[in-house]
Structure 1
Amino acid sequence: MTAAGGLVSAMKKAAQLGMGEIWPVPSPIDDIIGIETARGTLSVVPATEERLFRVRVHIPGIIWDTPGFTWEIGSTDDLGLLVEAVVAWREGMPFDELAARFMFLELDEFARAVERGEPTALQWADLLSAEFHRRQWDLLRRLHTDEVLRHMFPTISHGAVRLRVDLFDGASRQVLVYEPEAERYEVIHTGAPGADWVEVPTGDLITYLRAALNEE
């Protein structure tokens, strides 16, 4: 990798050996590269003390953008195999075939839900059952009972629940909902000009969020 001039150059050279094509995107973080795909952005992170390449998927499609949703899908010390897997992922190979062909990949339930087009329902279920997020359970349940809001993709960000209209688009409409104490809510419409936290009465919360997320 050093002889090739770094990880990006090494991956490009390996790809040119008949494995396919990759287009790494620039990263402000040293030694990390990303490859944009229709199923999120793959990031390749080399280990610091051994020859090992960790592969992660990030949604939305910019690795260092926040907020986001990132999960690790495996690691390998074989650069050629790594590039083959990246190319296959980018070209849309079904997850079952990816798992069978590239044994180092760990395609968990969320990754498979992405392929089935069902990640939002799984994410709600995971958050509502995770002890780590017990403090947000009441708020999550309140939001999930609404027939519109349950179709928004939820994440937890610094103790607040983030709802995003489009899982795969980091610029899509989204809000943060924070419950500093029981039955008291603060909301910020992220991305809106001059956005700031607004206290919203309990009885108006669902209506307020629906309006914020459905603005054109």
Structure 2
Amino acid sequence: MVISIDSTQPSTQLDDRSLIGKEALLMQQWFILHTYSGHEKKVRDSLKARVRDTDLQNEITEVLVPTETVVEMRGNKRIESSRMFYPGYVLVQIECDDRGHIPDNVFHMIKSTPKVTGFVGGHNPTPLTPQEVDQIVHNVTEAAEKPKPKFSYAAGETVRIKSGPFQSFTGKVEEVNEDKSTLKVTVTIFGRSTPVELNFLDVEKVTFAEEE
């Protein structure tokens, strides 16, 4: 199974077995860094460069920014883009010492990387459990197999239909089916309220200013 994760390059393909780890690498643990929002990829690239410069490739084995592919319609074009699963966070795989702790030199090098605010867990961060790593693998794999709409919707919101026989009509969202990425929207046709089922990509949100 192959998953899409941002590593040294955007949209890197990575075998999930390397993410989970092998028996020969039991001391390798995954930790979470907190970063300034919007600087996740810069932190990844900066940390990768510092690892090379300080010859710590054996201590810091992976730096990842998990992403998912999202889709939207612009005019009649289907546009795909990348979105981070965990904005403000970067995953780092570290070779721990025989006590399961992050070596001091590695800890301070990571902590001093620009735009890193610290480890999740503070001075004594707890590594991700195998179950948590498996969940991340599952989420990223699922997103790679089935790209999500870029925007989500909720019952009660007003939307405008962008395509099909009801194009330009506005209506109120009555039901949302996240699994199928569909909405049941009530529109007024010839003075009557009529429910129609639409794909997420067929509608756009109407702002408060537009409603007024």
- Whether the TM-score (by the shorter chain) exceeds 0.5 is no
- TM-score of the pair, normalised by structure 2: 0.27
Structure having greater relative contact order (Cα 8 Å, sep ≥ 6): 2
Of Structure 1 and Structure 2, the greater helix share is in 1
Of Structure 1 and Structure 2, the greater strand share is in 2
- TM-score of the pair, normalised by structure 1: 0.26
Structure 1 or 2, whichever has the larger Rg, is 2
